[in-house]
Amino acid sequence: MKYFFILLILVISPFVLLPAQGTNLLDIDYNQLDSIFDEPSHPADTPQNPANKEAVKPAPVISDLKKRGIEFGFSYFFKGAVNPGWGVLPWELKKLEDMEEEEREEKKFSWAFGVEIGATIDINAQISENFRIKSAITYGIPGSEFSLGDFFFDYNFFNYVFFRAGKFEQSWGISPNFTYTNLLARIATQMQSHDKELPDYDRDAVSTNGTSYIMKLDVPIGIGGFQLLALTRANIAGGVIPYANFIGFGGKFNLAFSWADFNLGAFYQEYMAARAFLSVKTSIFKTDIYGEGLIGVNAHTDNSIGYAFNFGFTRSFFNNKLDINGEYFYYGEEKTEYFSPETEFRKEETLPFLEGHNFALNILYKFGGSINTRLFTTFYYGDKSFRLIPGVRITPLTNIDIYFAVPMALGDGYYINTLENYRYEHRPFSVLLYVNFSGSVRASQYY
């Protein structure tokens, strides 16, 4: 118990409050920077059966724990960023002369700053050989508030059926660039409770970001297995009880051969099109190759059919110093864009895709050395729009990462994300300096 009290003291210790603005600056997707080639940080909590490895039965983390015991974890982070930029590309500044004064002011050079500090304590308790509970709570500022992270339990029925229920995220997609086959992430979040049934709700009642609450069953069978689940995305922590018809249902079947990994799944929720997907991943001559296909049917209106597919590769060179990932993605779900005919939710507000042809290219070179320098570039194209983010990350000291990147948007338009969208609606050129202090420690006792 002494470890628990030490960790508790660390969590409630006072932090230095620093003024900040534009904290969306800190909401960076590391997959868009240099970590797209990295292994998952907690692979045991997201079991996978990679291709070209010995096929094993998928098993939750509960099977790897000792009979009974408890584990405490404490992690800390400090994030600071500065982001000067322009509302037009620097080599197109002459365009400002033809703009109205108000628009010209918005397009001129501007600054954005962000500071965030926080700590997380998590508890992983093995109640019995079959029963595990996990929870995590984060305290952060600005905001000076607590937020609930993973909060779920696992139960193992006779070492054959594995049940998990609670607040956690689940992914079905395999693409590092486009999450269109991760159907579980494409569900809107119910933010408010209304007196009458959906879909007669206003736009404030639903968000496209939120937390998943899931009940799932995993059943290993031979060299694969299947997964069944029920999922809702609702602001339950805020007191919102989801409507029954805002709960979705789905299932996925996996076959993990020594030469390829296959996943076939489907998901349905009343305010979405019904969708099914097939994904394949294998390796040929040291090159990882993957492909995905999806079909959607808008059963709420005219049964119109949409589809999407991709194929990509990942390859390492020069003794794993150079990593390259390329991907082609075609999006053709425009006929199934509405949740239902009564809503105003269109695909551009719920799906991070552009119609038609899309391309992605990610390059990472690891210099290594004492400061672990990594040079990276990400490139995306879609609908006559380009997004280019060259940058570098260095680790001068343990637990300190420094990023320097230059996000650029070229062409007729571009994907809007936090790297380009903190202060103005369009910010096609900026310079990002981002510093991250982080660390963690764990203590456990089993018997």
pLDDT, tens digit, 9 for 90 and up, residues 281-328: 999 999 999 999 999 888 777 778 889 999 999 999 999 899 999 999
Question: Residue 337 is encoded by which pair of tokens?
Answer: 């864009």
How big is the CA angle at 59 (ends 126 and 267), to the nearest 5 degrees?
110
Q: What is the pLDDT of residue 190?
A: 75
205 band by pLDDT with thresholds 50, 70 and 90:
low
Give the contacts of 147 (CB within 8 A, at least 6 positions apart). Answer: 137, 138, 139, 140
- The rounded mean pLDDT for the chain is 77
For residue 183, the SS3 value is helix
Query: Cα separation of 407 and 422, whole Å?
Result: 13
Query: Cα separation of 89 and 247, whole Å?
Result: 44
User: Residue 321 in contact with residue 311, Cβ under 8 Å?
Assistant: no
Query: Cα separation of 198 and 195, whole Å?
Result: 9
Residue 240, burial from CB neighbour count under 10 angstroms (0-12, 13-18, 19+): middle
Phi, psi angles (nearest 5°) of residue 415: -65, 135
Per-residue CA distances from 269 to 164, 266, 363, 388 (Å): 20, 11, 37, 35
Q: Quick check: 42 pLDDT over 70?
A: no
Report the predicted TM-score, pTM, of the whole model to 2 decimal places: 0.77
User: Residue 422 in contact with residue 434, Cβ under 8 Å?
Assistant: no
Query: Cα separation of 347 and 335, whole Å?
Result: 10
43 band by pLDDT with thresholds 50, 70 and 90:
very low
Q: What is the pLDDT of residue 335?
A: 67
Give 151-173 pLDDT, tens digit per residue: 999 999 988 899 999 999 899 98
- Within 10 A of 94 (CB to CB), how many other CB atoms are there? 8
